[in-house]
Amino acid sequence: MSKQAARKPRTDAGRNRGRVLQAACELFGERGDEVQMSEVAQAAGVGVGTVYRHFPTRQALVEAVAEQRFAGILAFAREQCLPDPDTRQALACFLRRVAEVHEQGRGVSSAIEATLGSTEPHGETGAELLAFGEALIERGRADGTLRADATVTDLYMLTGAVAAISRQGVGDWRRFIDIALEGMGPAENRAPSVRRG
């Protein structure tokens, strides 16, 4: 068998996998967790067997959709947010992207949460997103744009809150981001704390 002939099945398989993922994202976006594997196959223009060859279970398909979503957020954060020399603006850029993804993909979020138990990133991409956040927090503490006691855990909580607000449509996530990042700023820029007694 020639190298070209051996390469073609792998190319076709990769193309089919991409079509299945795209179809799944679109269907989940429209109907959330109600989508079945046979519907994904039909929308992708492939047989059900092809879908199961790439994704042995529905959970595996949802996990791949979630991974693709988080990889997209990470790529955007690295390319569009990290280069901003103003660390708070870089953080705002990242949080806005998280909010937009969840706001525009509420059905996808619903499918991910129903199948996996949460919409939080996991695995290698989750670790890379955490490392991205840690790097920004450290940079902000060093350049004085963030409070000295700011941690990646703070950012993790903010990200979860922004995702929930935008996903559920329960408030103005843009205002929330502005207020939250104001609180992450250095102490001299904040009003004195009110004592509770």
Is residue 179 domain-shared with residue 116, that is, in the same domain?
Answer: yes
Tokens of 28: 């989940």
Distance, CA of 29 to CA of 1 (rounded, Å): 42
> Quick check: is 194 in a domain?
no
- Residue pair 174/96 in contact (Cβ under 8 Å)? The answer is yes
Is residue 48 domain-shared with residue 66, that is, in the same domain?
Answer: no
Residue predicted with more confidence, 78 or 2: 78
> What percent of the chain is modeled with pLDDT above 70?
89
For the stretch 103-141, what's the b/e string if a residue is b when 16 or more beta carbons lie within 10 angstroms of its beta carbon? Answer: bebbbbbbbbbebeeebbbeeebeebbeebbeebbebbb
Per the listing, tokens 């700011």 go with 150
Is residue 25 domain-shared with residue 108, that is, in the same domain?
Answer: no
Using N-to-C axis directions, what is the helix angle for 87-104 and 58-76, rounded to 10°?
Answer: 150
> Quick check: is 197 in a domain?
no
Residue 12 pLDDT level (bands cut at 50, 70, 90): confident
Is residue 49 domain-shared with residue 90, that is, in the same domain?
Answer: no
Question: What is the value of pTM for the model shown?
Answer: 0.84
Is residue 104 domain-shared with residue 178, that is, in the same domain?
Answer: yes
Interval 19-56: pLDDT, tens: 999 999 999 999 999 999 999 999 999 999 999 999 99
Is residue 125 domain-shared with residue 157, that is, in the same domain?
Answer: yes
Q: What is the mean pLDDT of residues 71-79?
A: 96
Interval 43-53: pLDDT, tens: 999 999 999 99
Alpha carbon distances (Å) from 73 to 85, 129, 144, 156, 188: 19, 9, 26, 14, 32
Is residue 173 domain-shared with residue 121, that is, in the same domain?
Answer: yes
Domain carrying residue 8:
1-56
Distance, CA of 109 to CA of 107 (rounded, Å): 5
The pLDDT of residue 15 is 87
Distance, CA of 122 to CA of 97 (rounded, Å): 18
